[in-house]
Amino acid sequence: MALELRPNCECCDKDLPPESLAMICSFECTYCADCAETTLAGICPNCGGELVRRPIRPAGKLANNPASTKRVLKAEGCPPSRAA
């Protein structure tokens, strides 16, 4: 099973195309680099896990393993991390 490349930041809803810099946790929660660094201090607000750089899927592999189109967004936004 391929990594789910979610199309947006769960905090601010910024578009995150497959080739963009995005941060994920081990459950594939997805955030833009700005929210991950400034708001979340590198910690996923859902599971408490570390946020790491999402790998970039080679363009040639996207045809058979496309990015997800399902947007996930926290209606209330993301609370600042307690670690911040």
> Which structural domain, as residue segments, surrounds residue 16?
1-59
Number of domains the chain contains: 1
Give the integer Cα–Cα distance in Å for 49 and 2: 20
- Does residue 24 fall inside a structural domain? yes
- Does residue 7 fall inside a structural domain? yes
CATH assignment at residue 45: 3.30.40
Percentage of residues in the chain with pLDDT exceeding 70? 96
Q: Is the pLDDT of residue 1 over 80?
A: no
Q: Is the pLDDT of residue 84 over 60?
A: no
- Does residue 45 fall inside a structural domain? yes
Quote the pTM value.
Answer: 0.87
- Does residue 18 fall inside a structural domain? yes
pLDDT in tens, 42-74: 999 999 999 999 999 998 999 999 999 999 998
3-state helix, strand, coil in the chain (%, to 5): 15, 15, 75
- Does residue 1 fall inside a structural domain? yes
| Spatial CB neighbours of 47, under 8 Å, sequence gap ≥ 6 | 25, 26, 27, 29
CA 45, 49, 34, 54 torsion: positive or negative?
negative
**Residue 79 binned pLDDT confidence (cut-offs 50, 70, 90):** confident
- 38 phi and psi angles, rounded to 5 deg: -85, -45
